Amino acid sequence: MANIVITGSTKGIGFGLAKAFLDGGHKVIISGRSEDTVRNALDRLQTPACKCCGLTCDTSEHTQVEALWQFAQDTFGSVDIWINNAGLARTGWSILEIPQHEIEAMVRTNIVGTINGCRIAARGMQKQGHGKIFNMLGGGSDGEYFPGMGIYGSSKRALDYLTNAIASELKGTSILVGKIRPGMVVTEAVIREAKDNPDRFARSRKLMNNLVDQVDTVAVYLARKMLEFNKSGEKIRWLTGGKIAGRMLKGLVRKREDQFARHGL
């Protein structure tokens, strides 16, 4: 069974991954920015059979990420998988219109936070002699453009380069580095933005409904692929080009079950 650390895992795809790994009998440490969110997530995850712990961690703060690694070492003895999942998505603005504080928050969390996680996890794994590091990518990481996502997409594009770079630097070691593209998942952030921008959501709802998936569905697939992962630098992708094309064609014939209605949208 694997020992796993997931940053930003009190909700969304991070929480889904924690649940998927725990359901598979693995041991997991979750983290979030506040004690309340960590405690709430642990209450939802804990069962008599589950081995799950948590710690508050702002990944943009180097010392807090170091503390998270040390907590995992003290708790489990070693870390087999470290997932840099913590991230912020503030979309809907053009690059010229987005507030400065939103830019700085995304850059610190998405880029600086992931760099901190990679460096600290890689150093620790070098000492223990093994491990896997995964970085969570997203819209824009392949260079594609989405309206209203200029800054967010830029941060995710940077993570693609970062992952390639650290995979190259660790080549020949026992540490594997991978990328995760979860696709379009109905998370708390997506629901929040839909409620904050109802007109924009209404315009895109039909298209999005063909492409989005629920957290549990995607998380189970990603967790299995991470456990099987054996080639550094590779990408684990849920929503492939073939899957997108197939869903769009199928949508012309039969309407897909509403993926947003269950969330009150």
Cite the active site residues.
152
Q: How far apart are CA 67 and CA 75, in angstroms?
A: 12
Q: How far is CA 87 from CA 49, 106, 125, 162, 201, in A?
A: 29, 7, 23, 15, 22
Report the side by side order of strands in the sheet with 235-237: 51-56, 27-32, 3-6, 81-84, 131-136, 175-181, 235-237
Q: How far apart are CA 200 and CA 189, in angstroms?
A: 15
Residues 171/232, Cβ–Cβ less than 8 Å: yes
Q: Which two tokens stand for residue 46?
A: 């804990």
Task: Sort strands 51-56 and 27-32 into parallel, antiparallel or unpaired.
Answer: parallel
Contacts 24+ apart (CB under 8 A), 217-221: 218/13, 218/16, 218/182, 218/183, 218/185, 219/13, 219/16, 219/17, 219/19, 219/20, 220/20
Adjacent-strand bridge partners of 32 = 56
Residues 29/51, Cβ–Cβ less than 8 Å: no
Residues 41/57, Cβ–Cβ less than 8 Å: no
Q: Is 148 left (phi over 0), alpha (psi -120 to 50) or beta?
A: left
